[in-house]
Every structure is written in C-alpha cells, then in structure tokens.
C-alpha cells in the first residue's frame, strides 16, 4: 500500500492495535516516549518540534503542550488530534492562523464515567468513608462524631452545565436533593429541563452543601475558586473538582481545609500534574481530602473508544476530509484551500 501520510504520536500508550490500524491504512509513524513508561517526562518546545519533524498529523497525549512556536516550526503539519476531550494545552489560535485543524475525541463514555465518579465522590465525602476506613484499620470502631450525613435534602451546586454537568444533574434526579446550577452560557430553560435552578455563582457557593466544578480550563476560569469563593461556602460544605486543576487555587484550598473553613474536598485534577511532592495538598488530613490522579472517570473501554475516534479523524484528514470533531471550525475554509494546493503540487 502506498504511504497515506506521516503521523507523530507524541506519547503512545501500549495499545498495539492503534499502530497496526494506522500502518494498515498506509500511514508512516513516528513514536515519542510512552506516558506509561515516562510519566514525569515533558517535551521542551524544540524537542517536540524535532519529534514532529515533517509529520502531517500530531496525535498528542494529554501531558504535552503544543505551543505556537511548536506549530510554527512544523510547516508540514495539517492537524493536531487528541484522543480525548480536553484541548487546553493546544495553542488553538496559533493553529487557526497557520491553517492547522485541531480535533478532539468527545467520547460519550467519558461524560458518563465522569458523572458517575462525581456521584461516587459526593457519597464518599458525605458518608465520611475515608475517615471511617482509616479508623477501622487502626483498630478503632464507630463513633457518633464520625457519622456521615444524609444526602437527601441537601443542595448540590453544579458550576458549569456542559455535557458533564448535565450528566451529573441527571444522575442526582430522584435523590431528593436541590440542584443549583451556574453557567453564564446556558439558558435557564435548559437547566430547568434537568430540574436545576439557575443561580449566580456567589449564591450557589453560599447555598450549596456540595459544590462540583465542571468548567473548561480557560484564562477566564483560572482560580475562579479562590480565597474569596472558598470563604463564601458553608463550613459544612464540600468541594469536588473533576474538571481542570487551574480552576481552583490549591494553596488557598489547602489552607481552608487545614483551618476547617469547609468540611472537605475531592480532587481528580491539579494545577501541575503529576501532583508535586511539595504540594500543600499533601499536608492536608487525608480523611478530609480525596486525591485521585486524573483518572476517576476513566475506563479502558472509554479510552479505547477515544483512540478509535482519533484514528477516524486522522484517516479522514489525510484523505482531505473534515472530521465532525473539529474545535477550530473557522479554520476549515482556509484548510481546504491549503489541502487543494498541496494536492496540485503533488500532482504537478
């Protein structure tokens, strides 16, 4: 089979079928360092650009930042493809200016898994699972002061009513809770359909017994939950963040947890990943803070489906098609012109 195109996989995970399918389609592959084998490794811009070289597609891992300088140093690149949802580490504006498409893989199983995980974290926090397990393992037994709380009748505040936020709201229907939602980009009628009251962020923070974050990692949302916002929460309230680490000021969260300003928290995402050994979060009483390594909503089936979507996008792109999961759709017209020029040059 003739070569269809060259693909750089910046951080391949051990799934031989991915490479096999791409090679069977006629693709040439350049492989970077495996995320599993080198979890702390990060490419410098020059290193990543050197790895990409003259590849036409970059299948990028979640650990790697694709900056404007990287994109500018790779004139043959026509697309950056993510095998999952988040594209915060890709310089989308720079890609658009360079007529490079950015595609993600919004696998519905990701939303489902994450929504299920949020419910599980809320239950674990409010039923004080970690505290009581640690007491039992230490030889103690039950005590009234370590009893959990009834979830029914409580207020669950959802910050962000996108796909994950909506799935969480659906799963809490029938629990007898009051659902509050904040999202300046979602109309109240859309929330009402899910039994969610649309409120302002400050009101949500004051009223909620659990605040669960479901927002994207943008400059606008960086540290949207800081000292002021944490200070508005009830002393009996819990914070759950499964969205993006930079949304929460971790230093302030560690402080309020140590001081008892709020009752507890659960985090699956962090400002720096992997979580540094010197993070102030590691000094917090573990019975009041659940920490998981950006994995809580994952499943092997969901990850494989994300890669299948990514492969579908890659093969479509190399054949001149536009996949349905393009993030920077405004770049599509110029990208089509660019591909037409490349085709004419190859045929000349």
Q: Are 141 and 257 part of one and the same domain?
A: yes
Q: What is the DSSP letter of 147?
A: -
Question: Would you write out the chain's pLDDT as a tens digit for each of its 348 residues?
Answer: 458 999 999 987 778 999 999 999 999 999 998 766 676 778 999 999 999 999 999 999 888 999 999 999 999 999 999 999 889 899 999 999 999 999 999 998 889 999 999 999 999 999 999 999 999 999 999 999 899 999 999 999 999 999 999 999 999 999 999 999 999 999 999 999 999 999 999 999 999 999 999 999 888 999 999 999 999 999 999 999 999 999 999 999 999 999 999 999 999 999 998 899 999 999 999 999 999 999 999 998 999 999 999 999 999 999 999 999 999 999 999 999 999 998 888 777
Length of the chain: 348
The domain boundary residue, chosen from 266, 291, 316: 291
Q: Calculate the CA 150 to chain-centre distance.
A: 30
Q: Are 180 and 52 part of one and the same domain?
A: no
Give the tokens for residue 195.
């039994």
Q: Are 124 and 266 part of one and the same domain?
A: yes
Q: Which of 63, 214, 244, 288 is catalytic?
A: 244
Q: Which of 294, 308, 334, 336 is catalytic?
A: 294
Q: How far apart are CA 157 and CA 197, in angstroms?
A: 9
Q: Are 144 and 182 part of one and the same domain?
A: yes
Q: Are 214 and 117 part of one and the same domain?
A: yes
Is-catalytic flag, 14? no
Is-catalytic flag, 294? yes
Structure-token match 């079928």, residue found:
17
Contact at 8 Å (CB) between 88 and 218?
yes
Positive/negative CA dihedral, 110, 116, 119, 120: negative
Predicted local confidence at residue 13, as pLDDT: 74
Is-catalytic flag, 223? no
Q: Are 121 and 73 part of one and the same domain?
A: no
Q: Which of 109, 273, 305, 312 is catalytic?
A: 273
Q: Are 90 and 16 part of one and the same domain?
A: yes
Give the tokens for residue 42.
């990060």
What is the domain-level CATH number for residue 209?
A: 3.40.50.720
Q: Are 60 and 195 part of one and the same domain?
A: no
Query: Number of structural domains, the chain?
Result: 2
Give the tokens for residue 229.
């916002």
Instruction: Give the CA radius of gyration of the chain.
Output: 23
Range of the domain at 338: 5-104+299-347
């Amino acid at each position: 089979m003739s070569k269809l195109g060259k693909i750089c996989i910046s951080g391949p995970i051990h799934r031989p079928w991915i490479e096999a399918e791409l090679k069977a389609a006629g693709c040439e592959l350049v492989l970077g360092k495996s995320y599993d084998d080198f979890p702390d490794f990060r490419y410098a811009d020059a290193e990543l650009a050197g790895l990409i070289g003259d590849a036409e597609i970059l299948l990028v891992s979640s650990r790697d930042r694709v900056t404007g300088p990287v994109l500018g140093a790779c004139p043959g690149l026509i697309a950056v493809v993510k095998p999952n949802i988040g594209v915060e580490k890709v310089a989308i504006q720079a890609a658009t200016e360079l007529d490079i498409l950015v595609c993600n893989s919004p696998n519905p199983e990701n939303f489902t898994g994450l929504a299920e995980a949020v419910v599980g974290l809320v239950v674990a926090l409010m039923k004080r699972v970690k505290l009581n397990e640690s007491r039992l393992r230490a030889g103690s037994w039950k005590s009234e002061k370590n009893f959990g709380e009834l979830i029914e009748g409580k207020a669950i505040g959802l910050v962000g009513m996108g796909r994950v936020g909506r799935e969480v709201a659906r799963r809490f229907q029938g629990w007898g809770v009051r659902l509050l939602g904040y999202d300046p980009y979602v109309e109240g009628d859309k929330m009402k359909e899910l039994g969610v009251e649309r409120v302002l962020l400050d009101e949500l923070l004051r009223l909620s017994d659990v605040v669960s974050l479901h927002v994207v990692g943008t400059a606008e949302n960086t540290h949207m939950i800081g000292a002021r916002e944490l200070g508005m929460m009830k002393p009996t309230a819990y914070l759950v963040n499964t969205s993006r680490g930079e949304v929460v000021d971790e230093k302030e969260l560690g402080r309020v947890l140590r001081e008892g300003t709020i009752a507890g928290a659960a985090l699956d995402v962090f400002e720096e990943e992997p979580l540094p050994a010197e993070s102030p979060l590691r000094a917090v009483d573990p019975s009041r803070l659940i920490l998981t390594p950006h994995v809580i909503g994952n499943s092997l089936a969901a990850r494989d489906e994300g890669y299948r979507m990514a492969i579908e996008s890659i093969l479509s792109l190399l054949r001149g098609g536009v996949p349905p999961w393009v993030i920077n759709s405004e770049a599509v017209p110029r990208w089509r012109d660019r591909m037409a020029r490349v085709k004419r040059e190859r045929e000349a």
